[in-house]
Amino acid sequence: MATPFDILNRMREGRTLTAAEVRAVVDGAASGSWTDVQLAALLMAAAMRGLDGDETRELTLAMLESGDQWALAKDFGPLVDKHSTGGVGDTVSLIALPLLASCGVPAAKLTGRALGHSGGTADKLESIPGVCLELDRAGTLDLLDRFGMAIGIATAGIAPADKRLYGLRDRTSTVSSIPLVVGSILSKKLALGASGIVFDVKIGNGAFFPDARDTRSLASSLVEISAACGTPADYVLSDMNQPLGRWVGHAAEVREALDCLTGDGDARLLEVVTAICRKAARLVGRELSPREIDSAIGSGTALQKLVDWADAQGARPGWVDSLDLAPVEAVVTASGSGFLAAVDCRRIGNAFADACRPERDPHRIDHAVALRYDVRLGQRVERGQELVRLYVRRDPELLQREVAAALVIGQEIEPPAAVME
């Protein structure tokens, strides 16, 4: 059996690792037989020389097999999973899953928390008073049987090797390695055991990878490696050069999801939701028309799915009307007349992330803090016009400055499409 020294030497020489060697690394991460120093060296080597498709597949499978595998489709039948690479004002999951369920396409996902400038679906859903997202396999199957949808947070038993490797990637500047990103995402996604996965891959300055080539490489790699591991997948490239919806904020984005499901949603947001739903349905042999999606919204069935799911997850009676916004309001206005020519979406996301954490405590979130984004790229604005409204608990000056600095008024531009691919 190859030792850590043997494997690191092979990586240093630029040689491809065998399946057994990749699994030895992952087993060592899970068991503790590989030290942090050895794993850090391995991660840096992987980030610098890259991993080929076979190595990435073996890494994914080994991390998957280091923990629990729910294999939901085996017992439930065809269902889809959905994953976003993260962004600002991204409310897609909260809308797409109840829409799919109401159209007869069961959907489930294990979701995560905020990461850097990107909001976390789990954090948003926990703004619903009483909701509990801790689910085991049996509980997930029960929700699927009752409502055709389930959303929970990943348990400690899923891909434990990835948890250790991810922690080291964060400390060794190897977070942005595409093969390592793919292995990390898929080891958790495949553990759910859906029939197919649709990826909402964000592109633009607020995306995980600001470089468009890296984003496209990530999208194709996710689909290719997922298929190589036995699960069909597809992707949508959606714009993240500005917040996706009209709201940024935990409770505010749940409110926006409810609005969308009543037919009062933002057009760009609904365009992305529709693309995600249609591609997800195709993965299980269904063809959803825009008319079917509109009907699910117009009839109120999709809205009822979300409400019923939340109620079953412990939401308190009357929660729909209790998603309050923070009481202190302030506005960001246009510094001059012209067109909204650019938005530093990442800067807005980071500013919001700081504003919603009291005293920057990473374990506490003020769900009521929010931004309402009232303008779109390419839109004509006049000096003094309100562009963004802030809802905070205390002095809004810092957030106001950061958001103002993120908005550039200039020459007319062609507005980016919501769905790029």
- Hey, which residues does 196 pair with through a beta bridge? 80
**Residues 57, 82, 83, 202: which is the catalytic one?**
83
The catalytic residue among 66, 102, 184, 195 is 184
Concerning whether 171 is annotated as a catalytic residue, the answer is no
Q: Mind giving me the DSSP string for 363-379? A: T---TT-EEEE---TT-
Q: Would you state the structure tokens that stand for residue 276, as one six-digit string? A: 């995600």
The one catalytic residue among 162, 234, 266, 344: 162
Q: Is 283:196 a contact under the CB 8 Å cutoff?
A: yes
For residue 184, indicate whether it is catalytic: yes
Find, among 292, 268, 288, the residue nearest to 280 by Cα.
288
- Whether 358 contacts 421, CB under 8 Å: no
Single-letter code of the amino acid located at 46 = A
CA distance 23 to 16: 13
Q: What are phi and psi of 374, to 5 degrees?
A: -100, 5
Considering 109, 163, 169, 278, which one is annotated as catalytic? 169
Contacts of 32 (CB under 8 A, 6+ apart): none
Spatial CB neighbours of 230, under 8 Å, sequence gap ≥ 6:
none
Q: Following DSSP, what letter does each residue of 333-369 receive, concatenated?
A: E-SSSEEEEEE-HHHHHHHHHHHTSGGG-TT---TT-
Question: Catalytic one among 82, 137, 164, 188?
Answer: 188
SS3 content of the chain, % helix, strand, coil (to 5): 50, 15, 35
Sequence-ordered alpha helix ranges (H) in 67-211: 72-76, 92-102, 121-125, 137-147, 160-171, 178-192
202 part of the active site:
no
The residues assigned a catalytic role are: 83, 162, 169, 184, 188
